Structure 1
Amino acid sequence: MQDSVTLTEDDEGKTVINSNGDKIGRVVNVEHGKAHVDPDPGLTDRIRSKLGWGEADEGDYVLDSSSIERVSDGEIHLSR
Structure 2
Amino acid sequence: MPATLTDDEVGKKVVDAEGKELGIVAKVEGQRAAVDPNPSVAEHVMAKVGWEGEDEEDYIVTEDMLDRVGDEVILRGDL
- TM-score after normalising by structure 1: 0.89
Identity %: 36
TM-superposition CA deviations, 1:33-61 (whole Å, max 9, x none): 31110001000000011111021111101
> What residue ranges of structure 1 are gaps of 5+ in the alignment?
none
Aligned to 2:60: 62
State the 4+ residue runs in structure 1 displaced beyond 4 angstroms.
Answer: none
| Native 8 Å contact 1:29 1:52 kept in 2 | no
* RMSD, aligned CA: 1.0
What is the match of residue 5 of structure 1?
A: 3
- Between the two proteins, the alignment pairs up a number of residues equal to 77
In the alignment, structure 1 residue 75 sits paired with structure 2 residue 72: yes
